Amino acid sequence: MRPADLLEAATVSNEALEGALDRDWDVPAGSLTWSCRRTLDHVPDTLLLYAAHLATRTTRPLPFLRNGDPEAKIKHLLRSAQSAAAILAEVATAAESSDVAVRAYHPAGMADPDAFVAMGCDEILVHTFDITTGLELPFVPPRELCERVVARLFPWAPHEISPWSALLWANGRGPLPDRPQLEPDWYWHSAPLDEWDGSPRFRTSPPGWK
């Protein structure tokens, strides 16, 4: 993964959504219980939370108290997502240039900068899929970007299909012809890949930051 991947993910997301400003953003975002608006507002929350953890090199979860403005315009929420992606990219760039190996807390494991970039891209791409599904818009991100995210976070995902299909399956967004849809306990691998034990990851507790 490269920090610039975050900017690419934010760009393709914005391109998919910026023409839908006049749609009803209160409809459900795909299979989520959140609305499209709430899902979009969640993206900068997550990216800034990742940036805070990576910037501080914390080994514990940090509190995060951002509350989105319910009156904010969709175009401003889109801009906030792009800004948050740029912030995380800059923090990851700085961490990668460190003379020592940098890692920080994530519930899925102590993550390195590469993982934070991949997780940020995953959040952007998959939630854009949720929103475009709710708004009935097409969305297929770049193959190479999806391939890098799958390889970093879901090394157990199938490789013989399109990376985008693999990424959606790994995020529990639907079945594959030969594999059922994953249960809500799906997870990813945040620690460096050389620490992966070869098995798929699953949550052992409910989703969220403890």
pLDDT string in tens for the chain (210-residue length): 999 999 999 999 999 999 999 999 999 999 999 999 999 999 999 999 999 999 999 999 998 766 667 788 999 999 999 999 999 999 999 999 988 899 999 999 999 999 999 999 999 999 999 999 999 999 999 999 999 999 999 999 999 999 999 999 999 999 999 999 999 999 999 999 999 999 998 987 545 543
Fold assignment, 3-195: Four Helix Bundle (Hemerythrin (Met), subunit A) (1.20.120)
Residue 209 neighbours by CB distance under 10 Å: 12
**Tokens, residue 91:** 């923090």
pTM reported for the whole predicted model: 0.94
